[in-house]
Amino acid sequence: MFDQLLKQNEEMMKTMQSMMGLDAFQKATKPMTDLLEMQRAMLESLTEQQTQLTTELMSDCLEEARQMCQCESVPEVMEIHKKFLTRYQEKMADLAKKQAASMTQLSEEALNVMKKNTKDLAKSLNK
């Protein structure tokens, strides 16, 4: 089914290209291309941030395990685990703030692209 949709989309794009000409087609699809590029960049950024966080958390887990192996009492274990959980919570909160800021920025950029496209469309219709 997905392959069929891709084929239909390709056929539609070819038809539009032949009707409009390549330059007009590229101009018409530029806003969508820009939005898709912004989304791709955002996904790459989010993936990098999450990968970095996962690596840090694994390192922190190993360090916690190493420290716990050297403990001689339950209160020591609890204190080490408390510190680990505090660092974990701080890192998760930091990631959430970064990702929320990134999403806000993407929304603003997408809105600007849409506003510009709407203005350009209005100008071309008023001619």
- Which DSSP string do the residues of 6-51 spell out, in sequence order? HHHHHHHHHHHHHHH-HHHHHHHHHHHHHHHHHHHHHHHHHHHHHH
Q: What was the pLDDT predicted at 122?
A: 74
Residue of 85, 77, 91 lying closest to 61 (CA atoms)? 85
Q: How far is CA 94 from the centre of its chain?
A: 16
Domain range for 42 is: 30-126
Q: Is residue 110 part of a domain?
A: yes
Dist. CA 55–CA 15, nearest whole Å: 48
Q: What was the pLDDT predicted at 9?
A: 74
Domain count, the chain: 1
pLDDT digits (tens, 9 = 90+) for 28-53: 778 888 888 888 888 899 999 999 99
Q: Is residue 22 part of a domain?
A: no
